[in-house]
Structure 1
């Protein structure tokens, strides 16, 4: 789990870019996220995100491992 300083908020980035952090006031976005392993396939995880209306995308981290990012706070 990564925890950012108070006042730093993470925002979903466009396309294949990593999320971005910046100093912000009250925005509804959080500066904390969790990495959770699952036995579900990537397709199954993305299907859950679509069903729930969560912004989601697949990312490769530094050319190494891949992650499915789900922005649960992105639901408004």
Structure 2
């Protein structure tokens, strides 16, 4: 099952608003990246979301910021596309698959308060894999009200000059 995905667009805000309209949801700035990215939230039982990054941004496990600018995408294999998917496997089983395939794999905690195992397919496309335990945390922490509260906190911090 899929929980969220990301794409790159020339006008991330507009694209997120159109997708949110299609879903009957909300569109908000995607705060964890703070780079002009937007997110469409479906407000459904899976907290389905689409992250929309600015065109020519890519995801990379080599940079701690995760989403980085790439003015010349022809020079890299990285892309802005990723999927968050659920699995019945354990984290150890996911790591074993990553090792077997020679794909970079790491467990990380996201700012919203849930863990993922990143499995970088062919070391260029990220899958955020959620075990059963991680799926419960994801569903609890990525609700529309939580995203809206985070947006308000971000606006207050920005207005106070803390960003």
Give the TM-score taking structure 1 as reference length.
0.81
SS of the aligned residue for 1:35 comes to strand
Tell me by how many angstroms 1:13 deviates.
3.5
Residue 93 of structure 2 corresponds to 44
Tell me by how many angstroms 1:18 deviates.
5.1
Work out the number of aligned pairs and report it: 73
Query: Which one has a larger percent helix, Structure 1 or Structure 2?
Result: 2
Unaligned runs of 5+ in 2: 8-52, 125-163
Q: Looking at both structures, which has the greater relative contact order when contacts are Cα pairs under 8 Å and sequence separation is at least 6?
A: 1
- In the alignment, is residue 22 of structure 1 matched against residue 69 of structure 2? yes
Please tell me whether Structure 1 or Structure 2 has the larger radius of gyration of its CA atoms. Answer: 2
Residue 53 of structure 1 corresponds to 102
